[in-house]
Every structure is written in C-alpha cells, then in structure tokens.
Amino acid sequence: MGMKNALEIPFKHIAVEGVFLSRKTQLANVLGQRIGGKIVLDHVGNPYLKDFYNERDGAAFLAQLVFLANRYHQQLRLLQRDLFVDRIICDYLFEKDKIYAYQTLTDDELLVYEKIYGILAERVPKPDLVIYLQISLSSLVRRIAKEGDEVEKNISEKYLEDIVEAFDYFFFNYQGAPLLVVKADDLDFAREEDVLDLLDQVRDMKKSSLYYVPQSYGGKAVKKGSRE
C-alpha cells in the first residue's frame, strides 16, 4: 500500500501519544519529514523527577505541577504560532497529564491538581487528530531493559503495568478528536513499508476512531472502526 499525495492529509494539528519508549517522538519526526509541519516536542526535563522515582514525600505533586506548567506554556505558544506554519505535529496530548496524576497523587493532591488543570485546559488548543501508539507491558519491559536509563530501569513492574492499563483505558474512552490507535509493539519506522502504510491510514482517517494493525504483523492490515 503506497502513500498517496501527502497534501491530501487534511489534519492541521496532530498529537502523537503513548507510554514512554513507545516511539511517539520518532513518529512525530517522521510525520514532520513526510507531510510537513512544525514539530513540537514535550519538555522531558523535570527537577523533581528523580525525587519522585525515589519516592520522596511530596515529589510526585511537584513533578506533576512542573510537567503541567511546562506543557501549558508550550501549548499557549501554539495559539500565537506563525501564520506560515501549515501544520503542527506534537509528540504529546495535553490531556494525558491527568493519566500520570491519577496514578501518582494522593486524594488531597488531586483536588488541588484538578482545580489547576481545569483552569489551564480551557485555553489549550485542541488537536484535530490523535495517534495513540499502543504497546503491551511486555514490550515496554523489553524496551526499558534495552534502551532505558537507570531511573527507568528502577521503576517497578507494577507501576509500569498500571501506566499501560491507564493509557489504554484513557484512549478507549477518548472523545476529544478523531483517534487512530496503532498496535505498535513491532512497528519499525526504519522500515519504509511501515511508514508508508501508516501514512495511508492517517490520510484515510475520518471523524470516527480507528484501530489499526500494521502490515508488519503479517497479512493484510486490519482496520476496525469503533466510536462514531
């Protein structure tokens, strides 16, 4: 399945999501190269992240607020984007911040977080397409062992399992934009056929959600419409 004219892709604000090491940044860069657009990458630096993983009291709340503030300011800048920028491709979805918050914060912290999040989210621009790179827990564990840093390698498997389940639950219920869910355990963006096939799926996306199994899994790609 070859890619047709990239100019036919109608989406002007694409967000790519997935758990860490899901290759979402790599996909954002591939999309930018193939269909054009300004690439916006998440700020991954956070002074409280190490304390959080070391389970220091209060560090989870501080780390979450830093991530929220950084993403908010970055998203606000998109509202004043250059008029000559035809498309934005972002390697995160602002709403996903809540996934981690609900996994890490106490009930009292969540009350404060929700109030702050609610105020900020009203001003954040919304994507017109979201791509979710879905990987399994076993794939995530393998990637951490092979590619992860020391902090990631010390994360408990229970926490990883909770995060994978939380992402799947979030996107199963996501209604904010057309959603393309990609089974991405073995997806390889160095393989031209994988890239071309995925770009075809993006071009053919409508207003509903879609579950997509890449051709690299063997046999013909399977597309399953979900919610209208």
**What is the Cβ-side half-sphere exposure of residue 153, based on CA atoms within 13 angstroms?**
6
Residue 6 identity (one-letter amino acid): A
State how far Cα 139 lies from the chain centre.
16
Q: Please tell me which residue in 91, 97, 185, 194 is annotated as part of the active site.
A: 91
Which amino acid, 179?
L
Parallel, antiparallel or unpaired: strands 179-183 and 210-213: parallel
* Tokens linked to 86: 């035809």
Going through 91-209 in order, the beta strands assigned E by DSSP cover 129-134, 179-183
The residue behind tokens 């930018």 is 32
**DSSP states of 71-92:** HHHHHHHHHT--TT---EEESS
Give yes or no: 91 in active site. Answer: yes
Closest of 131, 41, 35 to residue 78, by C-alpha = 41
Query: Which of 179, 192, 180, 187 lies closest to 214, judged by CA?
Result: 187
Identify the residue whose tokens are 């914060």. Answer: 105
Q: Would you please indicate which residues are annotated as catalytic (active-site) residues? A: 91
